Amino acid sequence: MKKLWIVGALGSSLALAACGVNATINQAISSVGASATLQVQLSAMATGTGTGASSVEQILRALNVDMNYASTTGSAIDQSTGHVNSEVTINNGTQTIFDIRQIDANEYLRIDVNAYASLPTVTLSSQQLTDLQLAVGDRWFELTPASLAAAVPTSTISTAQTSKIRVAERAVLDALSALVGSKPYTTLPDGSYSQTGTLDSVVKAVQPALENYLGRPFTPHNVQGTYTIGISMSGASATGASIQLTVPDGVTGNGTIDVHASITHNNDPIVTPNGATIITKAMLSQLIAQAQGTSTPLG
């Protein structure tokens, strides 16, 4: 769930960084986390002629992601670290496949097997569908901190390694922000902003940070393709962000992927599900084994 948010936030922050010289845009950066609630809706599209392109296009066209965050203290999201409830839904059109909620310290999950089975390129036999329905279908499951700690192996990553990773992540993000902030952007008639650059410039910008993390130099090949990032605003508040990547598809032309995020601050409640089944370590192992036995790749 946190990774999904990072993806959305990264796209937004890159777009916003492009306009950082403008005081109004700086306000827009602050506006994303300045309220006690935040919703981000993500959608994506892809086009291309390479191997597997058709399957990817179908899946991305069907999927969308909704993220909802609410401070439990009533303070702004960016001032409520450790006190934010969240809900992330992964949807097949208007049907919710996965509903994942974090309320206080507990995690909740509900899976709609039928919504998953109706995704393009997913094929399940009647027996597989029955097995999945019996195992997880249309029920809420709860992971408490105790059950989660028992189910997830203890990390072997040392404090020093963790610190090194965080420093590298920060260096990469700083390099990207500096790159985007150094390039011109276009103000569009509707008040939104757009910027285009090369993927090769992105690779070269983050190269020093990556070399420092790896402890050795490397010489990347010339990377073909471009990126376009954008932000839409209402007054001084950000209402959306987008990123488009265009690369040669190795066949007859270019392949593209577009990710769009809309940003709102509605008072959408995040409710604790009733009657959730608490997952024990034994139950989790059984569910994983059953899911692996009936899993079907998306492409």
Written as one string, the DSSP assignment of 92-146 is ETTEEEEEEEEETTEEEEEE-HHHHHTSTT----HHHHHHHHHHHBT-EEEE-HH
pLDDT surpasses 70 at 291: no
At residue 179, the 3 state secondary structure works out as helix
Radius of gyration of the chain (CA): 21
Per-residue pLDDT at 16:
45
Of residues 18 and 199, which shows the higher confidence score? 199
Of residues 11 and 147, which shows the higher confidence score? 147
> With a threshold of 0.75, does the pTM exceed it?
yes
Mind listing the pLDDT tens digit for each residue in 72-92?
A: 999 999 899 889 999 999 999
For residue 278, the cross-strand partners are 142
Mind listing the pLDDT tens digit for each residue in 164-192?
A: 888 888 888 888 878 877 787 788 887 78
pLDDT surpasses 70 at 257: yes
Per-residue pLDDT at 6:
40
* Domain layout of the chain by residue ranges: 2-294
Q: What is the mean pLDDT of residues 119-143?
A: 85
Of residues 127 and 3, which shows the higher confidence score? 127
Q: What is the mean pLDDT of residues 121-144?
A: 85
Mean pLDDT of the chain: 81
Q: What is the mean pLDDT of residues 139-148?
A: 82
Give Cβ neighbours of residue 274 (< 8 Å, ≥ 6 apart).
Answer: 140
How many C-beta atoms lie closer than 10 Å to residue 159's C-beta?
A: 7
Nearest in space to 4 (alpha carbons), one of 71, 79, 90: 90
pLDDT surpasses 80 at 112: yes
Per-residue pLDDT at 10:
44
